[in-house]
Amino acid sequence: MRLIENGKLVEDRFARVPDDEALPEGAPVLIGIERFLRDAEALKDWPAPVGVIWPNNRPIAEIAPYLPQIALIALNFPSFRDGRAYSQARLLRERLGWAGPLRAVGNVLQDQFLLMQRSGFDQIQPVKAADADAFDEAVHRYTVFYQPATDRRPSLLRQRLGRSVSGVAE
């Protein structure tokens, strides 16, 4: 499956493995949280990277003790109207200090790409292949933002304060 990673279309190196199937030896895997929690001790010695699909109806703070052994976190968007994964992404980045790959999966639409990027996602698994082609245009549509975000682009207020304090345009 193809995905968008840091603005580029790439092949997914993680194999998504259902809970009832054996994990492929030596290959990066993406598994559900129930399986991960059940097998967390055994997965500490797994010879390949392990990613976790975290549901949006579970508190993200529960993942904190396992962060050192996780290579990728995928947050689920079950519906385009359900934005809980945005909050989870910001909490992971800002409070839990997650610096690894953060992937948006599920019902991911191109209208949401910019907000996903600003919330801390660096990987997006689009619903339609054509959406991936629209990524660059979608994330560069707006250049000025009122709200601060995880992507560290300065808000309009910060830009104005920077100009008035220093006296020069930044």
51-70 residue pLDDT tens: 999 999 999 999 999 999 99
Q: 6, 122 in Cβ contact below 8 A?
A: yes
124-167 residue pLDDT tens: 888 777 666 676 666 666 665 556 666 666 666 666 777 644 44
Q: 17, 39 in Cβ contact below 8 A?
A: no
**DSSP-assigned states of every residue in 25-58:** TTS-EEEEHHHHHHTHHHHTT-SS-EEEEE-TTS
The residue-averaged pLDDT of 64-86 equals 93
Domains and their CATH numbers in the chain: 2-139 (3.20.20.70), 143-170 (no CATH)
| Cα–Cα nearest to 71, from 50, 89, 53 | 50
19-30 residue pLDDT tens: 889 999 889 999
Assign 109 a pLDDT band (cuts: 50, 70, 90). Answer: confident
Return the pLDDT at 5: 86
The residue-averaged pLDDT of 39-53 equals 92
Return the pLDDT at 59: 95
pLDDT surpasses 60 at 85: yes
C-alpha to C-alpha distances, 83 to 43, 59, 114, 119, 130, nearest whole angstrom: 30, 14, 14, 11, 23
pTM above 0.85, yes or no: no
> Which of 110-114, 121-125, 157-161 ranks highest by mean pLDDT?
121-125
The proportion of the chain whose per-residue pLDDT surpasses 90, expressed as a percent, equals 48
Return the pLDDT at 133: 66
pLDDT surpasses 50 at 169: no
Q: 91, 150 in Cβ contact below 8 A?
A: no
